[in-house]
Amino acid sequence: MEFVNSIINWIYYGIVGFTAIIMIYNLIKEKSWEKEVLYILVIIPFLLRLFGLK
Amino acid sequence: MDMFSFTEIVLGIMVLVYIVSKVFRVSTELSMFFSAVAGSLAGGFGLQPRYFAEGAITYLDINLIFITATFFMNILKESGGVAFAVREILSRFHNHRILILVLMTIILLVPGALTGAGSVTVLIAGGMVSVVLNHMGITKLKTAAIIFIVAGLSAAAPPVSLWAMMTAAGVNMPYIGFFLPLLIPCVLGALITMFLLGWKGEKSNIEEAFEELPIPPERMSWILIALPFLVFFGLIAMGRFLPYSSPIVGLPLMFLIAGATSYFVSPTKIKILQVSRDTIKQLLPLIGTLTAVGILVEIMTLTGVRGLLAVTTVTLPVSVVFGILFFVLPLSEAVLMWGAAPVIGVPLVLLFNTIGLNPIIALAGMSMIWPLGDALPPTALIGRLTVDVVGVDESYSAFLRTCILPSIIIMVMGTLMVIFSSQLDFLTAF
Amino acid sequence: MRDKFIVIRKTIFILLGMLVIIFAGKSFYDHRNFNEPVVTNEGVTEVKKLGDYFTGISGTINDCNIYVFEGEEEGSNMLVIGGTHPEEPAGRLAAYLFAENGKMKAGKLFLAITANRSASTGTKLGGAYPPDFSIKTSFGERKFRMGDRWSNPLDQWPDPEVYIHYPSGQNLAYVDTRNLNRTWPGRENGTLTEQTCYAFMELIKKEKIDVFIDLHEAELQYPVISTIVAHENGEELATFVSMMLTDMEGFRMGVEFSPKNLHGLSHREVGDYSDAVSLLFEAPEPFLDATRGTTSREQLLTGKDEFVVMAGKHGLLFEQIDENGWPIAKRVGRHTSAILMTMEIWSEDYPDRPLICEGVPRYEEVIENGVGYYLNDPKSALKNRIVLE
């Protein structure tokens, strides 16, 4: 069970990483300054978790 | 300077920056962020990245639920599942007005109840339900009002009710026992709204309605629609009934597995990357809001503004609190969106708890009223979205006027739940 | 031209975002990896690891130190844990005063300063907690980690849809799956937090612990405050301790009995699943109140808060507060005195197997001299007396 739980834990890091990539992709395509700022704000928590910082 | 004057000044500056941002037509999410920046500076804390980042990550898990649930709903829509369900219901029951209205209410309630976001209901089911309701002879204005209010109630409905979850987390109260207190009034309120606004109307030709609805793939069936839901509820049941012999899956992964099921059984090919990108694009205002709310709440807590609001609220006479609940809650929602829950909800629940009311029922009652604020400026995010999706030709204020009657009924229901929460505590059994 | 402008703008925004991640990330990293030195007193005869009692926890972040104080004479065995909730610093500091000053004359004391290490490596989301706080001493300041109520999600993620307590089956809030005081008696193959409790239960059984004490603090708006919460097996002991503290040491300490249907809490489960008498001590911490004003290190340590005082004037609190607040020395002193008094009453009840501790300051002494007075200087200490928390 601990093994399965640790795999799930890795999947969650995968979800966070994948979401961050999609967000960065959308940020690059974005043209409105407001949405750019917003993307930066929402990406921050995803990267902090992905890098194991918070 | 004493603490009261100091925090009042900080609060004043935060409000001022928020108003100025709105005057310059900055989005609510960024206005909240700028307000937080101003608060941190005014409070003498400078701009410490630690607090901004910690605030931003506060609702990471809720954002993940949002993203994965909406992803699931989008895949279901792309696979033609939603169109199939709406067409089937229309063709089988178009002569039974009551049944159609009830079924449309259910279709509107499901996406928001699962995701916790009314906008998901509007985006996933709003367009198609509006075609059906128009076919039933209901004006676009009334259709928009129905979809907006039911979408709001769907967001408050269980299992995921963000206002209740965020407030409960703020007072260290388990998010347990909310199922019936949220479900019963939300379903009741939704049905009342649907029948109140949708009862009258001359039915049009069914063929016209069919022409407007998207055509689902041929091999789509009820079983294919039900399968991902069965998987989702199967995973919930596994966690609940075999908690010690099953792994901890968590809601985001459950939604993802349900989405994957929907993807694999879909008769049409779904572009998964495109759906992912669209999901994020669609959700940006919402996850942006939650992130900005997190930052705002963190800075309000740091500077003491949150404490000021809390202590002001809890020291008001109880009768005054009961009397102003119906307009303070939607107003706070209009300004702070979900931020209203940790900022206004937490002190109110503490107060209700202290005076011996049942905090679960009271919070459920409040959760019904909050979403009504989503139609009000300055945000009006979901209200405007609904008007767009339905294609209302009249003015926005005409839409607001149409919402008044059902809104009053819901406000009364919510307020009564708060006042009589102790008597209703039997609802918390499940 | 316009495209170029957008690229420049975007680059600036991205750089700003990266700066936030770098600086905030460094602050989070430093907090998580900051090691506090403990200058153990000669009374600490051995420093074990929690993993010595259950290998499942060995090498994890929650493999905390267990300080063993072997008495000169035979007696009973006691386990005291601080840091169940590392956002309640008085419990950890009281444990420090034992580790740096205490000596057992009779009986054996087992002590954990940070029962949930994982929870001590992060601060509460949305809480704006300072990452650390410092206590003034004659040789400078000693710095301590401020922590959270829940284990760090970096160590236990994701949370379940609903947390179902083992073995009672009671439904609890999903975040409480990371709350060390909701996961007793623990589960061998459960989550990190459940395994931590399981390891402590193994310690309690293997070391034949007679008395178990869990140190806490609470917000003033919470009804269970300034009290001993006792399992029914410790009702008499707790009642006498409460009476004696009120009579002899001049502070009010109530007694509450552990509700039978509230599961996962140490005062209930340790009593139910072991032979140990189970007690939980609560001291007041205005820092935890939702009505608190500015969140700062100063508020954390002085407990002074005009807003909380205002809430008190409206009868919304379960403990008194005035402009003098609740200084950390007062809160730590309550804990040290309550532990010492428990040993004394226990020894009166069981004179053939007493618990006698020397060197630890009591309530009045801690208030008079301050907590820092009783902390040792890591720089002038012998290397082999220093342990990292």
Q: Which pLDDT tens digit goes with each residue over C113-165?
A: 999 999 999 999 989 999 999 999 999 999 999 999 999 999 999 999 888 99
Q: Which pLDDT tens digit goes with each residue over B8-47?
A: 999 999 999 999 999 999 998 999 999 999 999 999 999 9
Is residue C17 in a domain? no
Query: Within an 8 Å CB–CB cutoff, is residue A17 touching chain B?
Result: no
SS (HEC) of B156-173: HCCCCCHHHHHHHHHCCC
Least confident of B232-241, C21-30, C34-43: B232-241
Q: What is the rounded distance in angstroms from the CA atom of residue C359 to the CA atom of residue C340?
A: 11
Q: Which pLDDT tens digit goes with each residue over C292-313?
A: 999 999 999 999 999 999 999 9
Tell me the pLDDT band of B202, cut-offs 50, 70 and 90.
Answer: confident
Q: Average pLDDT over chain C, rounded to whole?
A: 96
Least confident of B266-270, B363-367, C352-356: B266-270
Q: Which chains touch C (3 or more CB pairs under 8 A)?
A: A, B
| Total of domains in chain C | 1
Q: Which structure tokens are listed for B108?
A: 């509107």
Interface test with A, best of C157, C161, C166, C191 (most A CBs within 10 A): C157
Q: Which pLDDT tens digit goes with each residue over A2-38?
A: 899 999 999 999 999 999 999 999 999 999 999 999 9
Cα(first)–Cα(last) distance of chain C, in Å?
57
**What CATH number is attached to the domain comprising C107?**
3.40.630
Q: At residue B368, does pLDDT exceed 90?
A: yes
Task: Using a cut of 0.80, tell me whether the model's pTM lies above it.
Answer: yes
Note which residues in 20-49 of chain A have CB less than 8 A from chain B.
Answer: 22-23, 25-26, 34-35, 37-39, 41-42, 44-46, 48-49
Q: What is the rounded distance in angstroms from the CA atom of residue B13 to the CA atom of residue B2?
A: 17
Q: What is the rounded distance in angstroms from the CA atom of residue C297 to the CA atom of residue C275?
A: 40
Q: Would you state the pLDDT for residue C230?
A: 98
B68-85: average pLDDT: 90
Q: Which residues of B340-356 are buried (b: 16+ CB within 10 A; e: fewer)?
A: bbbbbbbbbbbbbbbee
Burial (CB count within 10 angstroms: exposed 0-12, middle 13-18, buried 19+), residue C132: middle
| Amino acid letter, B144 | A
Q: Which pLDDT tens digit goes with each residue over B245-266?
A: 999 999 899 999 999 999 999 9
Q: Would you state the pLDDT for residue B128?
A: 84
Q: At residue B172, does pLDDT exceed 80?
A: no
C92-98: average pLDDT: 98
Task: Name the nearest CA neighbour of B169 among C56, C338, C179, C138.
Answer: C179
Helices B396-419 and B318-336, interaxial angle, to 10°?
140
| H or E, element range at C17 | helix C2-33
Is residue C198 in a domain? yes
Does the beta-carbon distance from A39 to B284 stay under 8 Å?
Answer: yes
Q: At residue B419, does pLDDT exceed 80?
A: yes
Is residue C115 in a domain? yes
Q: What is the rounded distance in angstroms from the CA atom of residue C318 to the CA atom of residue A3?
A: 45
Q: What is the rounded distance in angstroms from the CA atom of residue C28 to the CA atom of residue B55?
A: 13
Q: Which residue in B has a C-alpha nearest to residue C292's C-alpha?
A: B307
Q: Which pLDDT tens digit goes with each residue over C232-264?
A: 999 999 999 999 999 999 899 999 999 888 899
Q: Which structure tokens are listed for C247?
A: 């009579």
Residue in the block written with tokens 């200087």: C377
Q: At residue B203, does pLDDT exceed 80?
A: no
Chain A with chain C: Cβ pairs closer than 8 A:
47
The residue range of the domain holding C183 is 34-388
Residue C356 CA, chain-centre distance (Å), reads: 23
Q: Which structure tokens are listed for C206?
A: 């293997």
Q: What is the rounded distance in angstroms from the CA atom of residue B163 to the CA atom of residue B370?
A: 8
Query: Within an 8 Å CB–CB cutoff, is residue B280 touching chain A?
Result: yes
Does the beta-carbon distance from B284 to A44 stay under 8 Å?
Answer: no
Tell me the pLDDT band of B430, cut-offs 50, 70 and 90.
Answer: low
Residue in the block written with tokens 């935890």: C288
Task: Name the nearest CA neighbour of B391 among B154, B143, B78.
Answer: B143
Rg (CA), chain B: 22
Strand ranges, E, within chain C: 37-39, 46-49, 65-70, 73-81, 103-112, 132-137, 140-145, 163-164, 171-172, 211-218, 227-230, 254-257, 277-284, 356-358, 386-388
Tell me the pLDDT band of C3, cut-offs 50, 70 and 90.
Answer: confident
Q: At residue B358, does pLDDT exceed 90?
A: yes
Q: What is the rounded distance in angstroms from the CA atom of residue B215 to the CA atom of residue B209?
A: 12
Q: What is the rounded distance in angstroms from the CA atom of residue B88 to the CA atom of residue B79?
A: 15
- What is the ipTM, given to two decimal places? 0.97
Q: Which structure tokens are listed for A14?
A: 């995968």
Tell me the chain B residues in contact with residue A46 when contact means C-beta distances shorter than 8 Å.
60
The shortest C-alpha distance from A34 to chain B (Å) reads 7
Q: Which chains touch A (3 or more CB pairs under 8 A)?
A: B, C
C54-63: average pLDDT: 97
Contact (CB, 8 A) for C88 and C115: no
Q: Would you state the pLDDT for residue C2?
A: 79
Query: Within an 8 Å CB–CB cutoff, is residue A28 touching chain C?
Result: yes
Q: Which structure tokens are listed for B80?
A: 């033609």
Q: Would you state the pLDDT for residue B233?
A: 86
Q: Would you state the pLDDT for residue C296?
A: 97
Note which residues in 12-51 of chain B have CB less than 8 A from chain A.
Answer: 26-27, 29-30, 33
Q: Is B235 helix (H, G, I), strand (E, B) or coil?
A: helix
B61-87: average pLDDT: 89
Q: Would you state the pLDDT for residue C167?
A: 96
Above pLDDT 90, what percent of chain B?
A: 65
Task: Name the nearest CA neighbour of B416 among B175, B160, B113, B188.
Answer: B188
Tell me the pLDDT band of B123, cut-offs 50, 70 and 90.
Answer: confident
Q: At residue C20, does pLDDT exceed 80?
A: yes
B131-143: average pLDDT: 92
CA contacts within 13 A on the Cβ side of C314: 19
Out of C20, C29, C189, closest to residue A2 by CB: C189
Does the beta-carbon distance from B284 to A12 stay under 8 Å?
Answer: no
Positive/negative CA dihedral, B325, B330, B335, B337: positive
Is the peptide bond preceding residue B214 cis, with omega within 30 degrees of 0?
A: no
Q: Which pLDDT tens digit goes with each residue over C170-217?
A: 877 788 899 999 999 999 999 999 999 999 999 999 999 999 999 999
Tell me the pLDDT band of B280, cut-offs 50, 70 and 90.
Answer: very high
CA contacts within 13 A on the Cβ side of B424: 25
Out of B6, B176, B250, closest to residue C171 by CB: B176
Task: Name the nearest CA neighbour of C283 among C239, C250, C240, C327.
Answer: C327
Q: How many residues does chain A have?
A: 54
Residue in the block written with tokens 């459960």: C190
Tell me the pLDDT band of B176, cut-offs 50, 70 and 90.
Answer: confident
| Amino acid letter, B48 | Q
Q: What is the rounded distance in angstroms from the CA atom of residue B306 to the CA atom of residue B339?
A: 11
Tell me the pLDDT band of B95, cut-offs 50, 70 and 90.
Answer: confident
Most confident of B69-73, B203-207, B274-278: B274-278
Contact (CB, 8 A) for B182 and B152: no
Residue extents of the structural domains in chain B: 3-220+267-429
Q: Would you state the pLDDT for residue B73?
A: 85
Q: Would you state the pLDDT for residue B196?
A: 96
Q: Which pLDDT tens digit goes with each residue over C301-360?
A: 999 999 999 999 998 899 999 999 999 999 999 999 999 999 999 999 999 999 999 999
Q: What is the rounded distance in angstroms from the CA atom of residue C351 to the CA atom of residue C344?
A: 10
Does the beta-carbon distance from B247 to A41 stay under 8 Å?
Answer: no
